[in-house]
Amino acid sequence: MKRGKSAGHHEHCDKCYSVHCQAPVQSSVSCLVIKCHKNCGATFHMCKQEEHQLLCPNETVPCLNVHYGCPLTMQRRRLARHLEVCPASVVCCSQEWNRWPVSESDLTFYRNISESPQTELHLDVAMALRDQELLFRSIKMKNIFPELMMESPVLQDITAGVNRPAEEAACSSDYAEFRVNSCAQIEVKELNQEERDALAKSEDVDDIQNYSSWEKIFAKEMGGCKDSHLQCESKEANIAEYNMYLVHHGAMLINFGQLAACTPREKDFVYGSLEPIEVQTVHTFNIPTSYRAKRSHLKDPAQKAKSFHRSVDTEDLGLSADDLPKCDEVQSTLLCSLEKELKGHLISESVTVDGLYVDVGTQTYNFSSAPFKTDASLADVIADKPHGLHVHIEAESVTRRHNKTSSAFSYMCGHFFRRDEYRSHFRNVHSDIQASLSGWLQQRCPLAYLGCTFTQTRFQPAGHQATVKYCQDANTFILETQVPSSLCESVKTFSRERNGVHNLDPLSRLPLEILQHVAGYLDSFTLSQLSQVSRLMREVCATLLQERGMVSLKWEKKTYSHGGSSWRCRKKVWEFSSLFSPVDRWSFSDAPSMSDHLKTCSFYEREDRTEPVVLACLGEVREKRREEK
């Protein structure tokens, strides 16, 4: 490491790397040879001690993630191994999967499962409801149905001219009329000079803060116009240069009223004074030999039946607006969301048929909850309505070859874990449980397509009695240990004896050291739940945060008085992940056979056949025998 000259700098020490250096000790030449006081084995000149502290493996240094919340300090040689279990080394699970919307052929099963979801037992239904909730929150109604949104309050004030003077209100009304007519592609009302002056003096105009920038641009353009005017008065411009100048600057001159100052011959310029230019058409496109025109377009246009444009509306049905059926918000929104992903949703969409023919179609929707608020999502629209299941319970894994523009919704796990916990989470949750829900880990009745909702779990962790369940609070799978009934009875008996007396339960009465020792055997998810039981248990779990928990930074956006903003770290958040105890091997549970359920299944209808049925190939066999005879 290169050092600058200082009070302890020696010319001999900079070039000496000998352990057995015998150079004489002089104040300006060399110094003593010493050993590292941290006992790392290094030998160097005394003036290099500060540099050695930057490389010494036994030097105590903070963690590399100290700026991300890790408070631990250790020897430098232990940093690499510590990163594997560092509480600030947090990983976000990015596992993705797809779900398709429910089709009309499966409505019976999903209608029955929505009435009694039983999410603790139906793991696939619980996972689908979680994904559906995230989907409904992410879909914004203004992106799907912009024509059904409430009118903005700002636009209402502009059109109505509320709480404004008469002149400003008239000016704003003309401006609003200009904006509305421009969107509808209707002829814009021409403003006179007085109305233009009133509009220029009004401060209630969009982007008024950019007035100074515009003024500079206009001033530069006006200066260029004046220069060109002076050049035209000393020099007669030919028609070619004049036309080229108008091509580049004509639009700007007409819009800002500077055309009269730049006209070399006439002060008032009109398009009628220009000479017409002959238009020459050049055909550079050859029709491919493989092109085949549609048969409907090969007919003689003179003999074609006359057609006319006609707008078809709901009034042609002969029903009033109240009698028209209302559209379902969920089904229509999901359908339009998938269509928007492919080609976008338009209230009026034009489709080109064959280069010359264009078909125009209009699709409208009638919702009972319309118009929608500006920031409303699909979850807000159906908040007061009964929720059902509108996505399939079967999930499809996403691969690198997956096309994102397909008619399916993608979801991501999104849970955070320590780096040493991620391997166990991915293997048990995504590989073992989630990938085996459809018929392997969880088995449904074969008559589910008829509406039967019976299901049973076929596997359990080997070695201990536990059941896989889905926790709605944490939105993840957990292992629920089967507690012996005798232990539950003892706890209930103690509660009845101490009823009305403020006293601790048997677990909380144990010494703090024993509670910490017992808590060390619990998994991360159990620790997160135990920390919410009481203050004592929260203090016990807090002692294990650095060893078993994870830390992340909580950011907040700060806005300054001048309008600028920045992000800053407000605090450090310590928490436990949702990881349950790792499962290395699974075994079959004591669940009965599915045939036992079919004996009592209400959807299993047995039909006895007593009349003989002719086989399909029996007639051919008879004919062959007759030919042989």
- The pLDDT of residue 272 is 45
- β-strand pairing of 416-418 with 348-352: unpaired
Q: Are residues 418 and 532 in the same domain?
A: no
Q: What whole-number distance in Å separates Cα of residue 23 and Cα of residue 73?
A: 38
Q: Which two tokens stand for residue 317?
A: 């049905």
Q: What angle do CA 346, 350, 352 make, to 5 degrees?
A: 145
- The pLDDT of residue 21 is 82
- The pLDDT of residue 215 is 64
Q: Are residues 335 and 448 in the same domain?
A: yes
Higher-confidence residue: 624 or 450? 450
Higher-confidence residue: 482 or 158? 482
Query: Can you tell me the mean pLDDT for 136-147?
Result: 86
8 Å CB contact between 391 and 159: no
> Is the confidence at residue 292, as pLDDT, over 90?
no
Q: Are residues 535 and 584 in the same domain?
A: yes
For residue 564, is it within any domain?
A: yes
H or E segment to which residue 213 belongs: helix 211-234
Taking the alpha carbons of 205, 211, 217, 223 in that order, is the dihedral positive or negative? positive
- The pLDDT of residue 181 is 35
Q: What whole-number distance in Å separates Cα of residue 178 and Cα of residue 186?
A: 9
- The pLDDT of residue 263 is 47
Dihedrals phi, psi of 337, to nearest 5 degrees: -65, -40
Looking at 502-549, list the stretches that DSSP marks H as alpha helix, in order from N- to C-terminal side: 512-519, 524-530, 535-542, 545-548
Q: Are residues 27 and 122 in the same domain?
A: no
Query: Can you tell me the mean pLDDT for 460-483?
Result: 86
Q: Are residues 571 and 600 in the same domain?
A: no
Q: Are residues 447 and 363 in the same domain?
A: yes
β-partners of residue 470 are: 477
Q: Are residues 410 and 531 in the same domain?
A: no
Residue 166 pLDDT grade (very low, low, confident, very high; cuts 50, 70, 90): very low
Higher-confidence residue: 625 or 239? 625
> What percent of the chain stands above pLDDT 70?
63
Domain edge (last residue) among 85, 113, 130: 85
The mean pLDDT value of the chain amounts to 75
Q: Are residues 568 and 612 in the same domain?
A: no
Q: Which two tokens stand for residue 423?
A: 């391997």
Q: Are residues 365 and 441 in the same domain?
A: yes
Q: Are residues 579 and 620 in the same domain?
A: no
Query: Can you tell me the mean pLDDT for 225-236?
Result: 54
For residue 421, is it within any domain?
A: yes
Q: What whole-number distance in Å separates Cα of residue 537 and Cα of residue 526?
A: 12
Q: What whole-number distance in Å separates Cα of residue 269 and Cα of residue 274?
A: 9
- The pLDDT of residue 177 is 37
Q: What is the pLDDT of residues 336-347, one digit of tens each?
A: 887 765 555 555
Q: Are residues 442 and 527 in the same domain?
A: no
For residue 584, is it within any domain?
A: yes
Taking the alpha carbons of 26, 29, 32, 38 in that order, is the dihedral positive or negative? positive
- The pLDDT of residue 526 is 93
Whether the model pTM is above 0.85: no
Q: Are residues 66 and 106 in the same domain?
A: no
What total of structural domains would you count in the chain? 3
For residue 242, is it within any domain?
A: no
> Is the confidence at residue 529, as pLDDT, over 60?
yes
For residue 145, is it within any domain?
A: yes
Query: Can you tell me the mean pLDDT for 308-331?
Result: 74
- The pLDDT of residue 517 is 93
- Give the CATH number for residue 71: 3.30.40.150
H or E segment to which residue 90 belongs: strand 90-92
Residue-range definition of the domain harbouring residue 97: 89-150+326-342+353-457+594-628
For residue 428, is it within any domain?
A: yes
577: nearest Cα among 536, 537, 544, 535: 544
8 Å CB contact between 126 and 470: yes
